[in-house]
Amino acid sequence: IILPLPFNSSSWPALLKMTTEIITTEDGSHSIRNVEMNETYHSIHGARQESMHVFIKNGFDYFVEGNTKEEIKIFEVGFGTGLNAWLTMLRAEELNKKISYTTVEAFPLDESIWSQLNYGDTSPENKKRFQELHQATWNKQVEISSHFNIEKLATTLQSASLLYHHFDIVFYDAFAPSKQPEMWEFAMLEKIFNAMNKGSILVTYCAKGQFKRDLKALDLTVETLPGPPGKLQMVRALNP
């Protein structure tokens, strides 16, 4: 399957051709493999359990605990399959939290791909709501439920305009530094930092030494945490 080009692809030359295939990871949940890059969107050891461990348990749940904010603003780098947004929406409803979710994606998946993903297969209602996430109009804020609204930006992080000191939680879920090094450059991390509120957090599966040093150079407090199955470590960075 050849995906359409993004609105602005000039900064991601390695991804100009993007052939994908759906794979089943070890926990039974789907992921996608980029054939040209030989890179998967999630851990082969379990897409859902990786997302739950890194972004929900150590990101969303950690921030929510003891926090009284009426609305939590989340920014995600890499909408991808929509798994992180999907799990966040479910968790927000469980905890009765209102979420404003913004995400960037330069290569939105075609319906022929996302419609086959099994994340919402637990019930017809869940499947319908997972579809609503993907069918939400791009570049426009859309209310999916009383607890969750989303704005999907069809652009690169390099081109996205982010509000200053706006977000409470950042899900940094770009492809690995070895595959997409431009996404992990200091300038990109500084752009994210400038968009983070005081007291906000950033979580990611990546625990590379240079990445952590760059976060510390931005005066973030960096925690190296146990990673999900198949990965030794992950990172959570706090903006004091």
Cβ proximity of 121 and 146 under 8 Å: no
Q: pLDDT tens, 31-74?
A: 999 888 889 999 999 999 999 999 999 999 999 998 999 999 99
Average pLDDT, the chain: 91
Under a CB-based contact definition with an 8 Å cutoff, are residues 160 and 190 in contact? no
The mean per-residue pLDDT over the stretch 100-109 comes to 95
**pLDDT at residue 1 tops 80:** no
CB atoms within 10 A of CB 174: 20
Label residues 82-119 b or e (16+ Cβ within 10 Å = b): bbbbbbbbbbbeeeebebbbbbbbbbbbeeebbeebeb
